[in-house]
Structure formats: C-alpha cells, structure tokens
Structure 1
C-alpha cells in the first residue's frame, strides 16, 4: 500500500491528467447505472426513483410472457447477424483494396466518397433511400419504362433486409475501414520486400502478410461488437420501419423506445434494456474465453 502511494506521489502529474477523464466516465457512464434499479420498480414520476415501490422481477416475467417475444428476439438476431457477421469482412476488404491503390489523388477521392456517408445522419440517409425507392422514385420510373409495375419497396417485407443491409454498408464501410488502414500502414514494409524476393505475387502478399497482420485487431473488434448482439441499432431500423414490414422490423431497440416513451412504461423498458445488456455481456465473455483459449488475443 505504501509503495503504491509512493508511486502515485512520484508520478502525480500523470494522475492529475486523467482526473477529468475519470470524472467524465463517473458522471456519464457509472452514475446513470443507478437507473437500472427502475427495472425492479413500479416507477412513478411523482414518487421518483428512491420512493417508487419495488416489484422484483415482475417486468422480466412480463417480457418473457409477451406473445411477440420470440418474433422480436428473432428479428433482432437476424439484423444483428447482417450487421455483425455479414458486414464484418467488408471494411477489411475495402481497406486492403484502398491500400493497393497507388495513384494518390484517386485514392483520396475514393476515401472521401466512402467516408462522407458516415457524417450524414441516419435521417438524411434513409430519406435518400426513401426518395429513390418510393412509388414515383427513380427505380420505379426505370421499372415502369420497361413495362413493369411499380413496387413500394419500403413497405414490402421481402425487401426490408436488402434495404437495411445496403444502407448500412453504404453508410458505415468507409468509417469502419479506418482502423484497418491504420493497422495495414503499421506493417513492416520489409516483409513485403522479402515476399517479393521469394517470388510472391500481390495476392500471396495480401493472403500471407496483410490478412494475418489484421487478425489480432479484427478479433478484438469482433469480440467487442458482440456486446451489441441484441442491439441492432434503433435509429436505423426505426426510420425504415413501415406498417407493411413490421413483421420483420420490430426489434428490441424499437420495442424499448415504444414502451418507454410512447406507453410511459419506464420500468418495463428499463428491464428489457437490461436484458439486452446482460446478453451482450455474456456473449462478450464467452467469445473472449474461446478466442483466448485458441490464441493469445484477449480484450480482458
């Protein structure tokens, strides 16, 4: 204990620097966790968080008995599969392709084109897709010019997953590739030079040098992304939900918003949200244990 205090006293400047960060995380990350108690209370605005009656696990039982429970969980898992698994290799492939571009100006132009959508809000992004896919939008105009009937794509459940995935790829690919580009730039150039001397072509260099070098960072990012397994992104999905595609677009995130804000069931919404977080934590711990057992990679 004395040695620890002596070390802190010797390097007090470093600890002074991190005080603002500690205060920030305490106020905005740890203090709000007191609100998790609402999941076990019949919360009333008039009584407040400290005087509302306790109901135990009532809201959890209510959610598990909800007739649409299975559908909501399934829809959330399917959308998460699209965003976490199918999308995962796309930024890696894009980063590798972008790294192989040798023309400086062309490379910068491609980067700008792919980075820009990330800085557009989901409201604007989905509005663009709605205009393009509406009954009188460009795609239906092309179909009608070919003698085909117009389709209301945004209201058809059959087109929900393609629209959701394409819009997500369009918006997130460029930004998600940044960390992989940084990892590629840190690879020792002598490895590529040695591979050339040994007669390795560009594909073999990518397969045996670039991709293995990206495995550690990709593994860590994948483990961390599993924490949002049951959080499919409420803003994105909420904006492309329509009465017609509700059967496939009703997920936990939108259900929490609906119950908490529309129906005023604060305690019930908190319980569902806590269930989401606990499942995400469970998957992170399990996946971390599996990957740690197979390799030296770990996030804990």
Structure 2
C-alpha cells in the first residue's frame, strides 16, 4: 500500500509540473502581446495523512484509541491549485500609432493598501462587457474604436466610442484622462468628441481570463470611472508591453523539466520494484 501511495505522489507531482509548464509556455508565447498579463501557477500540497499501527494494546501519547498507536505522517504530493494572472504593469513603449493608448497605474494603491488595477472596458460581438489592458486600437469602417479582435471600445458612459474614420491621424489626440480631442493644435476648432471608458478593479484576482487579452467579472458589471484617480493616466501613441520576464520564465521552465524528470525516475524505481515482487511471487 505504501508503494502505491508513492506512485500516486510522484504522478501528482508530474501532473502539477505539467500544468505549470503549460502556463509558462503560454506566457512565453505572449511575450510580444500588448497588455498581456503573465499567469502564475500556485502549487499546493495535498492534506497530510497520519499513520497508525493496528493491534497495539497500548494507548499512545497522541491520544489514539486503544488498539491503535500513532507512528508518523506522510505527504501525498502536490497539485496545481489555480492559475493567477499577475497585474504588475509592463513597460510602456512608443508606437506613434494614432489610436494606441497605454494605461499607467503603477502608483495606484487603495486607501487600505491593496493594489488595484485599471482596465479598458470593451464590448464583444455578443454585446457583453469585457475588460482588457491591450490599448492597441484602430477605427473600423463604421467609425467605431475597436481592439485588434474587433471588440468595441466603450466610453465613460458605457457606450461604444465613435470617431470619423476619414480623419487624419494628426487631427486626433487622446489626453491623459482619455479625452478624444479633434484638432488638438487648432484652438479655434478644438473639440472633445468622446472619452475612453476605464474601470477600476479593486481586486484584480477576481477577474476571469478569457483569452485574447480579455477578462470578465462573473455576476457584476463595473461602472466606468467618471474621473480618473490622480495616480492614473493614459499615454497616447504608446502601448503597454507584456509583463512576462523572458529570462525568469526560461529558468522556471528548465526547473520544471528537472522536477518532471525527478518524479519520472521515482516512478521508474517503483515500477522495477513491482516487477521484482511479481517475479518473486511467480517463483
């Protein structure tokens, strides 16, 4: 029985490492995706098992019932509990694309000391509200400000942002507060046509990752911010890079390979032991 438990322990370790490796691989594949948030896999040990010896007439100091005595404990391996997105801000880089916008909320902290996060509010093809940090926007043929996947960017009233698609890039500017300004260099004709909608997520760990840089919140819809906190601003013609650290990710992947191989060798050792037991039984 102890041998079979050892097999389960080694196998659980291999499965946990495999799941962690998949998350790391996905992080590395999205290293050039604007606004991508890396995923960290948390590993947790299974509950510890206490072992007792049967047919012992003495009661142990652990308080066991007569007939049992405590002889120790045994770990049952680990499992990948969950994948958690890290909302540390990535580097901001200049692109000079007319509708690229980057969120800078690195200094944002709530009054209780909790680290919050600000995201763009967008609307998918099904009309559902989603949230993203990818500010690489364009204007489609209908005049909607959209993401690379075609989601409509919402304004601070929760409605899709619309801009005249015939405008030249020099005629449009986006302020640090998200105001879309026409003719920014012509005071007489300067006009604010809309404001990009942003939402404040007090606990980013509640966000559910959907793919393509989108997140959702089950059971609730956040109202857009009417005024941005002083510690938050937008940067026009810039994007936020992925927050994946390539060197650390590669190091973690190599560490995973070694852990997987170690558990594999344990399984091979148990397999050889079982073969020997079977051969003894046949003799």
- Shorter chain as denominator, the TM-score bin is under 0.3
More helix by share: 1
Q: Which has the higher strand share?
A: 2
Bigger Rg, which one: 2
With the length of structure 2 as denominator, give the TM-score of the two structures: 0.21
- TM-score w.r.t. length of structure 1: 0.20
